[in-house]
Amino acid sequence: MITPPWPQWVKRLYELEQHQDPDMNVDAAAITASAAVSAMGERLKNRLGLVSWTLGVLQELGWDISQDGDSLIAACEMTPDAARASLERAGVAGPMCRICDIDADGWPLLWWNSGVTRDAV
């Protein structure tokens, strides 16, 4: 059995699972391991679906997608302001904030490469 406290999003997932399993009691002091794993699976499915959709939109916008270790990197050749405007127009900026690193202003974290190269010292 898995015992509280658990994050609010986990409780909401357990409540969804409770609709399918009448023997499950979200308000009880513990949840079965199978219910916990099922809820986590649903959360991962939804999150991976959002990642997949976001990457598809970025590719349609002409962004290059690459992998760096465990991270996916989306790159394009534009200023951060132009990139933000493009992401907003495409309706992907908000959803991206749920799955990527964000900056201090709550935007998807963008790095700017001005194109200036430096000689190695």
Q: Could you tell me which residue, 34 or 118, shows the higher pLDDT?
A: 34
pLDDT, tens digit (0-9, with 9 covering 90-100), for 57-105: 999 999 999 888 888 888 888 888 898 899 999 999 989 888 888 888 8
Residue 81 domain-assigned (yes or no): yes
**Residue 79 lies inside a defined structural domain of this protein:** yes
| pTM of structure | 0.65
CA-CA-CA-CA dihedral for 18, 23, 28, 30, to nearest 10: -90
Q: Is residue 93 part of a domain?
A: yes
Calpha distance 5→30 (Å, rounded): 9
Q: Does residue 109 lie within any of the structural domains?
A: no
Domains of the chain: total = 1
Identity at 87, one-letter amino acid code: L
Q: Is residue 29 part of a domain?
A: yes
Containing structural domain, residue 57: 8-97
Residue 36 lies in a domain: yes
Alpha-carbon distances of 26 from 9, 23, 46, 86, rounded to whole Å: 13, 10, 21, 42
Owner of token pair 């190695």: 120
Specify if 66 maps to a domain.
yes
For residues 63 and 75, the answer to whether their CB atoms sit within 8 Å is yes
Is-contact 74 65, C-beta < 8 A?
yes
32: in domain:
yes
Percent of the chain with pLDDT over 90: 20
User: For the chain, where are the alpha helices, taking DSSP H only?
Assistant: 8-20, 33-60, 80-89, 93-97
